[in-house]
Amino acid sequence: MQYRKLGNSGLIVSAFSLGTMQFGKKMNMGGLDQKGTNEMVRFALDRGINFIDTADVYSLGESETLLGNALKGTRQEIVLATKVRLPMSGNFNRCGSTRVNIMRGVESSLERLQTDYIDLYQVHGWDSTTPLEETVRTLDDLVRQGKVRHIGLSNYLAWQAAVALGIQERDHIEKFVTAQMYYSLVGRELEFDWLSYAQHAGLGILVWSPLAGGFLSGKYDRNNPPPKGSRFADAGRFVPFDVERGYGVLDALKETAQRLGAGPAQVALAWLLTRPAVSSVIIAARTIETLGANIKAADLKLGEEDLKLLDRASHPGTPYPKWMVLQLDQAEDPRPKILDPGRFMEGGSWKDLRGTAWKG
């Protein structure tokens, strides 16, 4: 197992963290009971995972309850993360990033998890109804009270995160150290803005759905569509993506996997570990066998040609204004090549696109 810093904090976490949406039976995501949860948690810890991520909304608290039972005797040895923000009942004051809901949410999570502190407490998404100052000051209160060690955000736009960190820095209160975001070979939009901002701000990316809801496992492809009655066929894609381009990514994954003697899912996970600002990749599985195979991706080394093949198949193009920023800063300005040559190694420089032939 590889280990990394948890964003801009002193905590050390495993490069793969255990996701827990499959714990409990209220989300149709795996339905593991207490016995299954205990076995999966023990299996993960025995293989070097020291970071577990859950949320209050997962099976409406059942995931936290099962996890709390499974962690008896080992809670102090792991880094535990949970989230707050999404509705927990029909009462509209039991949702959002309000002071009332966060304070109630943390107490409920502590009780279900059978612990007196949470290592990483995350806001599950942007709340356009609640003043941002109310949210970040409440989170700061939780850290000062000792109920929370570090705080993180999830599913924010880059400008929203920048505003939040600006308020935290201005007011000298606890700052977000992580951003839990969707990222995969068929979902690389995070690279447009977010990754460079995360690097600038010192935020660690925690990747959710690294296999795009299981698509990148290679179980289904052009010639083998999801059969009627399967979760893929009935529920649709867990995350949106261009299916045709996705099939091209699968072709590249399978070619790389065959060359390395690995599985497509392992290659997809190993690729994420090469990306900048990634602190940990959250992996979840319904079975011990699948989890074990995914964990082995931490030992898989992708070569330069492997990375180029995957990039060609998956790169969605560079939107404006990023292409203009790179054009001006790297293609036309000579200083970065002298002052920061590392950015231009291994094809990392932005080529001058002026005069590029039109392909209609």
Domain ranges of the chain: 3-302, 318-360
Task: Report the pLDDT value the prediction gives residue 334, as an integer from 0 to 100.
Answer: 84
- Give CA–CA dist 347/311, Å, rounded: 12
Each residue's pLDDT tens digit, 45-73: 999 999 999 999 999 999 999 999 999 99
Count of Cβ atoms closer than 10 Å to residue 74 Cβ: 12
Residue 167 vs residues 7, 55, 173, 181, 331: alpha-carbon distances, Å:
19, 25, 8, 21, 34
Instruction: Say if residues 274 and 2 touch (Cβ distance below 8 Å).
Output: no
Q: Is 196 helix (H, G, I), strand (E, B) or coil?
A: helix
Looking at the DSSP assignment, which residues form a beta bridge with residue 280? 206
Is the pLDDT higher at 341 or at 97? 97
Instruction: Say if residues 14 and 50 touch (Cβ distance below 8 Å).
Output: yes
Overall average pLDDT of the 234-247 stretch: 82
Please identify which of the residues 58, 121, 182, 183 carries the catalytic annotation: 58
Instruction: Say if residues 79 and 13 touch (Cβ distance below 8 Å).
Output: yes
CATH architecture of 3-302: Alpha-Beta Barrel (3.20)
- Give CA–CA dist 177/9, Å, rounded: 6
Is 58 a residue of the active site? yes
* Token pair recorded at residue 247: 């099939």
Entry pTM? 0.92
Each residue's pLDDT tens digit, 285-317: 999 999 999 999 999 999 999 999 999 999 999
Each residue's pLDDT tens digit, 168-215: 999 999 999 999 999 999 999 999 999 999 999 999 999 999 999 899
Buried/exposed 258-282: b ≥16 CB within 10 Å, e otherwise:
eebebbbbbbbbbbbbeeebbbbbb
